[in-house]
Amino acid sequence: MAPLWRKVPAATTCAFCDKVTFSYPVCENTMYERYAGLIFDMDGTILDTEPTHRKAWREVLGRYGMRFDEQAMVALNGSPTWRIAQAIIELNSADLNPHELAREKTDAVKSMLLDSVRPLPLIEVVKEWHGRRPMSVGTGSESAVAEALLAHLGLRHYFSAVVAADHVEHHKPAPDTFLLCAERMGVAAEKCVVFEDADFGLQAAKRAGMDAVDVRLL
């Protein structure tokens, strides 16, 4: 299957119904009909969490007098927290345990996110397809954070599975996260489409044999 990585037009009328769509020449009512399962990344894809993650990192790193390069961290989007912590430790030549630093950041971000997180527009696709196709979340966040956020926003019931960083050994760009999503949905990998906002996630989808939508282009 050819990946769906392409820019999209302005508002048009769906080719198959009268609904106005601001994405593709067909609306979400019809454009994903050929897929048996839909998989969504969480941070930056269906939830607006990225600014809060950066704020939490600044707070935690300030305790140690460390800094981080925000542009470099963008390149690590989709990575588990401990891997980002490891990159920051290396940048600062610090003698810290990346897993312990990651735990501090996770603790900091939990309370912040519950107060600030909001759904992104793509959540409308989730709502449109609820009950029509099985859907899951495949995220680089820890399961405690992902489950808490989705429940807090009243979104958890839309997804038959949530696969997080602590559920797989190999993280994005490895395909494990999305393959486990497909398995838990009971859908063959090649019949799934992935919605992602990060290069690592798009690479993971490709390696899993799945089509992908780069939501940064929507």
Q: Give residues with Cβ within 8 angstroms of 161, minimum separation 6.
A: 136, 137, 180, 181, 184, 185
CB 60 within 8 A of CB 108: yes
- Pick from 16, 40, 42: nearest CA to 27: 16
Question: Around Cβ 90, how many Cβ atoms within 10 Å?
Answer: 10
CB 102 within 8 A of CB 145: no
Catalytic residue among 18, 41, 48, 166: 41
User: Is 18 among the residues known to form the active site?
Assistant: no
Q: How far is CA 115 from CA 22, 86, 109, 111, 120, in A?
A: 30, 27, 10, 7, 16
Q: Please give the biggest Cα pair distance in the chain.
A: 60
Q: Would you please indicate which residues are annotated as catalytic (active-site) residues?
A: 41
